[in-house]
Amino acid sequence: LAQSIETTRHYLEQAQSTHNSGETHGRHLATLHALDHLARLVHRCSQTDLIERLQDERRLQRLSSVICQACEAWLGDPGTNAHADRFDRLHTLLSAQRQRYRITTIQKSAHRKIDADTALWRMDGIRWMHRVAYHLWRIIYYLDAATQSHTKPDTAPFAGPTPGEPK
């Protein structure tokens, strides 16, 4: 999969579009953005040890099932534009959950209810889910932008990572 993404990226880099080409340029840029997020998502999905451990803790398991359900809905009907909004809300939810979960996990570790290694992998787990939700949201957003005939993605605000956003 990573090789296919790299081949596609190389192909897209060979294609040329300029601001003067309007809609085509916007679609070209949106496709490049989607591909970049896809490459990052593939990297996240290769972290199988972390993914497997998500099932070891009830809250992480519930949150990961929410991501899976959203993915299943998108894959079941990928043409629906509402999916970008759904993944935006999911990313926002996970952002808030990440902060709360981090605090409670550190407190549990401080009170010796869990050991430090468990606390660290749990925090890695919630950060991982936040990043995955972010990349899914941006992939869907940019794919929608690339396929909308009336949209110029290059003039839409780029919602790239802000300080504290996942990579």
pLDDT at 157: 42
Indicate whether 123 pLDDT > 90.
Answer: yes
121 neighbors 56 (Cβ within 8 angstroms): no
Read off the pLDDT band of 98 (50, 70, 90).
very high
Q: What is the mean pLDDT of the chain?
A: 85
**Quick one: pLDDT band at residue 88, thresholds 50, 70, 90?**
very high
**Per-residue pLDDT, 54:** 93
Model confidence at 67: pLDDT above 70: yes
pLDDT value at position 94?
Answer: 94
Q: Output the 3-class SS for 77-122.
A: CCCCCHHHHHHHHHHHHHHHHHHHHHHHHHHHHHCCCCCHHHHHHH
d(CA 127, CA 145): 27
**pTM value surpassing 0.75:** yes
pLDDT at position 149 over 70: no
pLDDT at 20 over 50: yes
- Look at residues 61, 37, 68, 45 and name the one whose alpha carbon lies nearest to residue 128: 45
* Stretch 114-125: mean pLDDT: 96
Residue 40 in contact with residue 136, Cβ under 8 Å? no
